[in-house]
Amino acid sequence: MQPEPIIQKLQQFAESFDNKDWATMKACLANEVYVDYSSFRKTEPATISSSEYVELRKKGLSGLTTNHTYSNYNIIIEGNTAHCECDFMIQRFTGDRSNFFHSYGIYIFELVFKGNNWLISKITQTVDHNEGNPGIHGAFSMN
């Protein structure tokens, strides 16, 4: 298998945040997803349903404009599973863009191939640094 469909899936996932296209986001995910955002939020890693994942993102990003960018993909495919590490930049703005909160770091994704489709089954985010006002991001009010 080639890495291009995996990169396309991850780009679709990133765009679903920015477009607030929650149905597409859910379609990118396996039914259950292991999520580790502990370097960013005060939450423990956990396996949650794709529906819960989407609802948490909806709540956390409410009222924000975002731009998710992934780059420098390193993908290893073994049978029906794929491991991908990539750099990320997430820009978050309030309506007038004067108030912002941006994050930079590394994502580790695990994907499974089911029914001719790659689905994200694990997401680990390691934040290297943030810039701006964390108070605009709903994740910090949910801790």
> How confident is the model over 21-57, as pLDDT tens digits?
999 999 999 999 999 999 887 789 999 999 999 999 9
Exposure of 25 in the CB half-sphere (CA atoms within 13 A): 20
More confident residue, 11 or 41: 11
Domains observed in the chain: 4-141 (3.10.450.50)
94-124: burial string, b at 16+ Cβ within 10 Å, e else:
eeeeeeebebebbbebbbebeeeebbbbbbb
> How confident is the model over 62-107, as pLDDT tens digits?
889 999 999 999 999 999 999 999 999 999 999 878 899 999 999 9
